[in-house]
Amino acid sequence: MQLLLLAIAPGIAICLFIFHRDAYNREPKRNLLISFLLGVITVIPAALIERSLITYETTVTAIAMKAFLFVALVEEGVKFIALRFYAYPSKKFDEPLDGIVYSVMVSMGFATLENILYVFQSEQTGQGYQVAFLRMFLAVPAHATFGVLMGYYAGKAKFAQQGKTMLLLTGVVLAVLFHGLYDFFLFIRESPTVANLVADGLLITGAIASFIIALRLSFIHIKKHRKLSQQTYNPMETMSLRKAYEHDIPLIRDLALKIWPTAYGQIISQEQIDYMLDMMYSERSLSDQMKNGTEFLLAYDGVEAVGFASVGMAEPGVYKLHKLYVLPSQQGRGTGKFLVDAIAKAAAKKGGTILRLNVNRNNPAVGFYEKIGFVKAGEEDIEIGNGYLMNDYIMEKSLLENG
């Protein structure tokens, strides 16, 4: 029983790890279990095919064919069939990360049964525990990395507008390539010619190196798809704010230069955009604003600055939101509301009862502000020099509920 648990443990542990990483839109446990069981079942056709193909020639060419074609291609092929025809068409496969999740579940089903067979076969020669511990840290995790590589591209293919077949093929090829490399360095020890020239330890090191590279790629791929999942289903988890100081002026200017052309390109002329950026976002202007009591805030998504705001007291009880801008890539994700809510809460704690702002009357952002509780309190046309006007709504939000 103890040996059986050792054989099962690594596959289950990896399944739990992947399940934990899929934190924002988890897959039904039933689907995951079926994927795992399909992986178990695929061991049978893989074993039958391998038995019919594998020869016991010890030339380098024969061993390479065995590693890449007769083992890696066959095993990754049957896993791909389970992934492609069960999980991939499912309505529950609704984000790119699901490709990795389902692919790893299939791979762990395959690897778990394979591991049980290897361990108990080795037990007959008294090496069951040694093999169990060795495969716990190498063979089973290696199958997981191959699954991640295949699943990453399956996830991309599911939601790609074109090139789906090529993406699916890329995933299979990479899984076969790294699986084949891993096995090749282990199998090549069977060749007397190579064994006489290369130390056994170096060959094992080659297998471990290919596994480590695949493992590194796997973590990169998981991180990419998990971040996309987080951005889709829980975008505020990694958001943070901090106060900006004069040394942050270049960062604020850089954000403004990226945001303004998109924010105002359809509303005012490029000449007016350039004029207003120079007027309000020069280093001297931003420095003066900070010195005159306007507080600037920077919004971060993880470690990346994605927006900024500025606020100051206009009159007792009334705080003026002078600026609120987020990168185009952040729009629709709640970043703007995140900034406004933080500012409103802070103003209310200081005794503020109203948060006021000006917004161009043709700016679609009017709808955004109304949605988060602002109402139109008036209109204002402001001359800003050089013959330009700012045609604004004055909008206000009550802060009493924030007190």
Question: Is the same domain home to 46 and 69?
Answer: yes
Q: What is the helix (H) or strand (E) element at residue 132, kind and residue range?
A: helix 128-137
Helices and strands: H and E segment counts in the chain = 15, 7
Question: Is the same domain home to 140 and 250?
Answer: no
Structure tokens belonging to residue 83: 């992934």
Question: Is the same domain home to 209 and 257?
Answer: no
Question: Is the same domain home to 300 and 165?
Answer: no
Q: How far is the C-alpha of 216 from the C-alpha of 212, rounded, in Å?
A: 6
Question: Is the same domain home to 141 and 289?
Answer: no
- Domain of residue 83: give its range: 2-233
Question: Is the same domain home to 205 and 281?
Answer: no
Cα three-residue angle 33-98-331, rounded to 5 degrees:
145
Question: Is the same domain home to 127 and 194?
Answer: yes
Tell me which of 187, 214, 233 is where a domain ends. 233
CA of 9: how far to CAs of 27, 145, 191, 269, in Å? 22, 17, 33, 65
Tell me which of 233, 263, 292 is where a domain ends. 233
CATH of the domain at 323: 3.40.630.30
- DSSP-assigned letter for residue 322: E
Q: How far is the C-alpha of 100 from the C-alpha of 106, rounded, in Å?
A: 10
Helix, strand, coil percentages (3-state) for the chain, rounded to 5, are 65, 15, 20
Question: Is the same domain home to 185 and 299?
Answer: no
Question: Is the same domain home to 157 and 108?
Answer: yes
Tell me which of 233, 250, 271 is where a domain ends. 233
Structure tokens belonging to residue 151: 């699943």
Cβ atoms of 326 and 306 within 8 Å: the answer is yes
Question: Is the same domain home to 85 and 128?
Answer: yes
Q: What is the pLDDT of residue 403?
A: 46
Question: Is the same domain home to 48 and 165?
Answer: yes
If one counts the domains in the chain, the total is 2
Cβ atoms of 327 and 307 within 8 Å: the answer is yes
Question: Is the same domain home to 215 and 265?
Answer: no
Q: What is the pLDDT of residue 158?
A: 96
Q: How far is the C-alpha of 33 from the C-alpha of 150, rounded, in Å?
A: 19
Per-residue pLDDT of the chain (403 residues; tens, 9 = 90+): 889 999 999 999 999 999 999 988 999 999 999 999 999 999 999 999 999 998 888 888 999 999 999 999 999 999 999 999 999 999 999 999 999 999 999 999 999 999 999 999 999 888 989 999 999 999 999 999 999 999 999 999 999 999 999 999 999 999 999 999 999 999 988 787 776 666 567 678 888 899 999 999 999 999 999 988 887 787 778 789 999 999 999 999 999 999 999 999 999 999 999 999 999 999 999 999 999 999 999 999 888 999 999 999 999 999 999 999 999 988 888 899 999 999 999 999 999 999 999 999 999 999 999 999 999 999 999 999 999 999 999 999 999 865 4
By the 10 Å C-beta count (0-12 exposed, 13-18 middle, 19+ buried), 157 is classed as: buried
